[in-house]
Structure 1
């Protein structure tokens, strides 16, 4: 005959309960609204940060405001300016899955593992994590650089498997793709005139890596690009534009579909600024020249999770 017995407790009842907590649901389910977790702050970073000086990384660090380990420009992304003097090199080896670069100026090459390719002004390129990359400058080079190291720090992940190979998007190809889109007959009726960089390894998300997307957009002379919003953070780099070009950002729309009580960000070529997740933003160009913006976002991850929630004012 089988006898059923009670399970034996192998440890004292209070073992491993020291960190356990319990919260009332309605007061804790929205930590941002309850001001328990900080919002992503507005911030802009001028080109003077990298205009001269020694070879270096210039982190666009908001980790103090975000209350997370730095450097971090958003909860899951870190943006930096890179400056590499002619004839010098800079090696980067972040604990990240994805790295995206836009070449602001200068020429050089990048080497990661067995892959080596040149870069020049206007090029985009991506590098996987898990292997150090060396950036070498033939002429003094400046780059806008974004990775997802803060995301891996939050997850407690240190082992990275490459999901894609180093990939280059030459300036001429990117500009031709954008020009083709801008010249289409219905371009002026679109919310944005832009192209997304893609990678053949990520057909579902159509993004530059599995975590990041990179967009190359134009704001034509005397035009308005109406508000849109999304749950990904946007780390925007201004590749062309100046006084008379600006972005309005805010949390609400008025009855006419305009941003209510907006914050204004005036563009300067070579600057970067943060558009927080969930905020409406609209671009305005009151000049006679084209303006260009490059938002790099964690929209690859958000799209895969089905949480991007991108919305457009019509």
Structure 2
């Protein structure tokens, strides 16, 4: 009994089906739907797993034709579009010698890393060459293509296609886009990373990493409005201490013979050019038991969380045996 009323015949709010309007005279009113705090508050969706994509990398490196190999978890996370995490999609691109890959992605931007080979990118009216170890950024939309050199090429790419697909959006045109092409040659990356390695750290430093940005995104310190890119490193025999953040992370392994990550208590062993997925909020750390510096590229949907003030970064381990 509640306030003298018999509640035994009342339906629980959580069991109520979707409610429709009582009258549907107007088409715009007929489209209304109603839920409540029992059946629509704190909606539970399938969890994003901590995954390792190795087969896709192997297929790309062995491919003889121009093909994309997606690190797709859409079935597992119940997404109606290809996605590695709810807002990001990682892929490998194999481009046959002398062939061209159209890069008409429905994304606001695409981050590329050249695993092997060389070639050139044409985006809008701009054309630039690239080689192994380079990173570059291209705007989304239909005006970008990649041409491989005589030995072909294999690249890793991450876009925010799922972010746009979620809201059925299309990339902005070049005149209004927040993203323009940016090229980060391998030699310049190495020079900038060395400056970071030689710099000092304090107890708030999350690791030894080079952060990529651009002229248009300099104020936000991101590579794209929604995505961040970093080249993380762990010195030989050390580890990056346990931490967490609300952004999901997609990692490409570049170097680390005896290295691994711990994600939510699960050990994820590294292998060359494998893609690792760290789900949002999962505690994780990176360990290097080898004799050389471990190196890995990490793309996060961090730009969105920085903008929303929800990054929630925190250490879960005291300073000491870590970097």
| Fold-level similarity (TM above 0.5) | yes
Distance 1:198 1:61, change over 3 A: same
Q: 1:217 aligns with which of 232, 256, 264?
A: 232
Task: Give me the TM-score of the superposition, normalised by structure 1.
Answer: 0.86
Query: How many pairs does the alignment contain?
Result: 288
Instruction: Tell whether the 8 Å contact from 1:246 to 1:284 is kept in structure 2 after alignment.
Output: yes
Q: Is 1:143–2:155 an aligned residue pair?
A: yes
Q: 1:20 aligns with which of 33, 37, 41?
A: 33
Alignment match, 2:82 = 71
The 1-side partners of 2:214 and 2:91 are apart by 23
**CA displacement at 1:18 relative to structure 2:** 5.4
Alignment match, 1:155 = 167
Alignment match, 1:183 = 198
List, as ranges, runs of 4+ consecutive aligned residues in structure 1 with deviation greater than 4 Å: none
Alignment match, 2:276 = 273
**CA displacement at 1:158 relative to structure 2:** 2.2
Distance 1:11 1:267, change over 3 A: closer
**CA displacement at 1:263 relative to structure 2:** 0.6
Instruction: Tell whether the 8 Å contact from 1:229 to 1:280 is kept in structure 2 after alignment.
Output: yes
Alignment match, 1:101 = 112
The 2-side partners of 1:245 and 1:37 are apart by 32
Task: Give me the TM-score of the superposition, normalised by structure 2.
Answer: 0.84
Instruction: Tell whether the 8 Å contact from 1:60 to 1:78 is kept in structure 2 after alignment.
Output: yes
Instruction: Tell whether the 8 Å contact from 2:107 to 2:171 is kept in structure 1 after alignment.
Output: no
Instruction: Tell whether the 8 Å contact from 2:95 to 2:152 is kept in structure 1 after alignment.
Output: yes
Backbone CA RMSD of aligned residues: 2.1
The 1-side partners of 2:283 and 2:60 are apart by 29
Q: 1:37 aligns with which of 27, 45, 69?
A: 45
**CA displacement at 1:124 relative to structure 2:** 0.6
Counterpart secondary structure, 1:150? helix
**CA displacement at 1:159 relative to structure 2:** 4.9
Counterpart secondary structure, 1:129? strand
**CA displacement at 1:187 relative to structure 2:** 7.6
